[in-house]
Amino acid sequence: MRADPVDSIRSDNTDAWIAHAVAGALSGAMWIGLAGIVFAMATAWLAVTAPAPRALAAAPLLLALVQLWLLLRVAIDRRLFDALAAAASHYGSPDLAALDTALIELGWITASRAGRPLPERARGAMRLVRASAALAAAQLAFTLLTLILR
């Protein structure tokens, strides 16, 4: 049986707990984002199959493009926070400098963004979670509006 990674976290290792919490929130955001995509597809289908304004089909599809981008970002960040949690659990602290070096080499961040502490990175990831939830809520609103206008 595989050991739970949380069992190996020392009680004084706040970075590991932060990383685990954010990874969990990002996992949830993936499901929320997928729900938003489903709502967008449902709205488009409803708008095309009924005499509803075409904008009701177009708007959710445009929002779905943003939602797809957010899903990609959420998936990447979830993996990174999983790795940070594992490193912090095992070594006592995450290697943020190595992560920054890798992200700079990939061209994903500029050197001026390197060196941010884990809590600041966590807040940035949580903005992605909130944006994904807001888009999913908008998609649901479009779906309900399309049903009402049918």
Q: What is the pLDDT of residue 3?
A: 56
Domain ranges in the chain are 13-149
- CB within 8 Å of 19: residues ≥ 6 apart: 81, 82, 84, 85, 88, 94, 118, 122
* In the predicted structure, residue 149 carries a pLDDT above the cut 60: yes
pTM for this model (two decimals)? 0.81
C-alpha angle 120-122-124 in degrees, rounded to nearest 5: 75
Q: Tokens 């594992």 map to which residue?
A: 86
Average pLDDT, the chain: 87
Q: Tokens 């685990």 map to which residue?
A: 20
Confidence of residue 78 (pLDDT cuts 50, 70, 90): very high
